[in-house]
Amino acid sequence: MPETVLVIGGTGAQGVPVVKALASDGKYAVRVLTRNASSPEAKELAAIPGVSIFEGDSYHEPTLLKAFEGVSYLFANTNGFAIGEKAEVY
Looking at domain 3-89, what is its CATH homologous superfamily? NAD(P)-binding Rossmann-like Domain (3.40.50.720)
> Does residue 35 sit in helix, strand or coil?
coil
Residue 55, class by beta-carbon neighbours within 10 Å (0-12 exposed, 13-18 middle, 19+ buried)?
middle
Q: What is the pLDDT of residue 78?
A: 78
Q: What is the pLDDT of residue 43?
A: 98
pTM of the entire predicted model: 0.86
Q: Where are the domains of the chain?
A: 3-89
Per-residue pLDDT of the chain (90 residues; tens, 9 = 90+): 899 999 999 999 899 999 999 999 999 999 999 999 999 999 999 999 999 999 999 889 999 999 999 999 999 987 766 665 555 555
Q: What is the pLDDT of residue 89?
A: 52
- Give me the sheet containing 73-76, strands edge to edge: 51-55, 28-34, 3-8, 73-76
Radius of gyration of the chain (CA): 13
Q: Is 12:78 a contact under the CB 8 Å cutoff? A: no
